[in-house]
Structure 1
Amino acid sequence: MTAHLNLSSFKSSGAASAMTGFGTPPLCTESYGSRRAQHYQPLPDGTLRCVPDRPEDQAYRSLRDVFMSVFLPQGYPESVSPDYLAYQIWDTVQAFASSITGTLATQAVLKGVGVGDETSTVAAATVTWILKDGTGMLGRILFAWSKGNKLDCDAKQWRLFADILNDVAILMEILAPAFPACFTLIVCISGFFKCIVGVAGGATRAALTMHQARRDNMADVSAKDGSQETLVNLAGLLCSLFLIPLVADNLHLTYALYALFTILHLYANYRAVRAVCMETLNQARLRLVLRHFLRWGKVPGPALANPKEPLLLGSQWQLKLILGAPLHTLVSSTADFQKALEGNSSNYLLFFNQAAGTVSVVLHQEAGSVDVIKACSHALILEVLLHQDVAASVVEGKSLLDLQRRLQEDPYKKDWTTLSEMQQLLDRIFPAFLTGLTSAGWITDRNLLGSEEWRVDWTMDGKKSL
């Protein structure tokens, strides 16, 4: 990290001289981030003397600086997000707990494959291990294929899911020796789960690292996170050396330790993901922000919205939203396509299927991040009208009540007029909402709303083709 020199701040010679204890003012001051400062004092013989702010603290600061340079990103705390320290503390606790329970599981699996049993064969143990690893590899591929594009959008939720699944897998391995007839099947399922954990945990860790890195230093943040985890795992291994002789032939103590450290592991993981304060909008955070805006007329900032974000998967939506849906799955006639285009001035088309509980959005070829946010907001307003009381809304309260009444009269009727009026309502309120998002500190030039890649160009020579 580049040190900073400041010459102008020492024109007031009296204060500077008192600070350094010399009769003449220092020529400049130098800082290393916000952690360390020192002054350069001219001496009578023409040389410069470097004087730290507090010389008596140098031994302590030297040890602290060595520790910070090894385990924290360069430039900490300015080079990372404000939530970095809280997250890393709890992440360290959960890693230690996971290391202990992992050791208990490893001991159980080794015992189950026949280590220490004279009647077991090397071939049988090898086959069991190969089946366990092979099943896990298959799980890794299938999970990455089915959920890989969703991990960025809900990184906190998937991170917590991965740690819960990891504890389930460890429990299965600890219990497996008690069921010798099903031992291979149990450890194979456990291996399958652990590889899912590896994919989900690694991908969400990358997403959180991208959030934490504030100076294009993602590699440094990731490397230091790995150093922290290695140190914690080393501490866990040292503790395991004392625990293993105690639990080797004591199942009750094994189960008790597993329960204790699993509770600690889950609690620390919850606190870690809850400490994360992300400024990009995913569907859950946009839902919270938009509902607050409709109710109170103000946009809450990331620090207010993130603590309210649900951390369990599948708990966000009452309507299923498909962003970037293919047009051929929604429109089967020219008349329907023309009705969808009528009065539409946005770079998306919204289709609502009340019977299926789905809102599908077709995105234009030129749709950007703000267009996707607007489309998702449109779908969220529809969800609010169908499932929430809008009587107390201060933003377009009368219009919202009128639209809600018409939707509830015949919810299964495809009323293009109602959808068109809803589009006009959104056109009126969205500019103020977008301004509020920017003012509150939300990032709008990119998002985590999870849109698919389908795009449609319904314009010809700059005009809509009807």
Structure 2
Amino acid sequence: MSGMGLGMLLAHVTRGHDLVVWVSFLSLTIFHMYANYKAVQSLSLSTLNYERTSILLQYFMEHGEVLTPEQVSKQEHILPFWSSWRKLLRVKLPHELVHLGAKASMLAHSDMLLIAKTRSYYTNANYFLLDKDGSVCIFIHKQAVATDVLKSFVHGLVLARFMQKSKSCHTEAHQWMDEKYNTFISKLKVEGYSTERLLSHSIVWKAHWVYGPLDEKTK
């Protein structure tokens, strides 16, 4: 009510003064947008989306602990990609290097050869990863459940991180997942995060593969 009253008062005072009206309108619009920005920034969500998971994982890999929802909310990017300086500089955040739900039809012969070399790391997983052109493609099995999707995305983030440091990135990423993933998830639960699923787009493309007697993967 007070806002409506002040608005009516301002309209009465500025009546007939076009310049003052426009200055008032622009000033109040900017203030309104800033207030909305701060309101969204103050939200502390316990669900896991792409960027939130990436921030949490990066901090955990560096410090062995996880941030609280309040701490993560201060680091998340609120403005969309097209409105930020990152588009001009062509800078990608870690989670933007990981492509979840890649199409199996995109695989070339060279990709299949690379998968053949790394397939042993995904024998018991409902997904497999392919590092290609500086990014990580995640192929999801038809039988994968929500927890598999979350694990595959975390694995993809870990692989993307090791790709920048080591040639044996698949080996190191697999070792990290074996040794640290369960600890990471446990610490997330302690801080109140929901670890049952990853908030992601609908995964339309899923693949089906089986392992033969010699652990040969076929599609």
**Structure with greater contact order relative to length (CA < 8 Å, sep ≥ 6):** 2
Distance 1:463-1:265 versus aligned 2 partners, 3 A rule: farther
Amino acid at match of 2:131: F
User: Structure 1, unaligned stretches of length 5 or more?
Assistant: 1-230, 388-403, 408-416
Amino acid at match of 2:53: L
Q: Give the 5 Å matches for 1:92-111.
A: none
Q: Give the 5 Å matches for 1:343-422.
A: 343-344=121-122, 345-354=124-133, 357-385=134-162, 404=165, 406-407=166-167, 418-422=169-173
Match of 1:342 among 116, 120, 123: 120
1:270 to partner: Cα distance: 1.6
Q: Give the 5 Å matches for 1:425-436.
A: 425-436=176-187
Match of 2:61 among 261, 285, 294: 294
- State the Cα RMSD in Å: 2.9
Q: Distance in 1 between matches of 2:177 and 2:102?
A: 21
Q: Distance in 1 between matches of 2:198 and 2:213?
A: 27
1:283 to partner: Cα distance: 1.4
Q: Distance in 2 between matches of 1:445 and 1:306?
A: 20
Is residue 454 of structure 1 aligned with residue 205 of structure 2? yes
Q: Give the 5 Å matches for 1:207-218.
A: none
Q: Give the 5 Å matches for 1:306-321.
A: 306-314=73-81, 317-318=93-94, 319-321=96-98
Q: Contact 2:159–2:169 at 8 Å: present in 1 too?
A: no
Helix, strand or coil at the partner of 1:362? strand
Q: Contact 2:56–2:66 at 8 Å: present in 1 too?
A: yes
Amino acid at match of 2:120: E
Name whichever structure is richer in helix by fraction.
Answer: 1
Match of 1:330 among 100, 104, 107: 107
Give the structure-2-normalised TM-score.
Answer: 0.78
The structure having more radius of gyration, on CA atoms, is 1
Amino acid at match of 2:145: G
Aligned pair count? 205
Identity %: 25
Amino acid at match of 1:266: M
1:313 to partner: Cα distance: 2.3
Give the structure-1-normalised TM-score.
Answer: 0.39
Cα deviation digits, residues 11-69 of structure 1 (max 9, x gap): xxxxxxxxxxxxxxxxxxxxxxxxxxxxxxxxxxxxxxxxxxxxxxxxxxxxxxxxxxx
Q: Give the 5 Å matches for 1:166-205.
A: none
Cα deviation digits, residues 296-334 of structure 1 (max 9, x gap): 111222232222222222366155321011111134465
Helix, strand or coil at the partner of 1:445? coil
Distance 1:450-1:348 versus aligned 2 partners, 3 A rule: same
Q: Distance in 1 between matches of 2:21 and 2:146?
A: 51
Q: Distance in 2 between matches of 1:332 and 1:384?
A: 25
Q: Distance in 1 between matches of 2:41 and 2:33?
A: 12
Helix, strand or coil at the partner of 2:21? helix
Number of the residue aligned with 2:89: none
1:376 to partner: Cα distance: 1.7
Amino acid at match of 1:374: K
Moved more, 424-433 or 325-334: 325-334
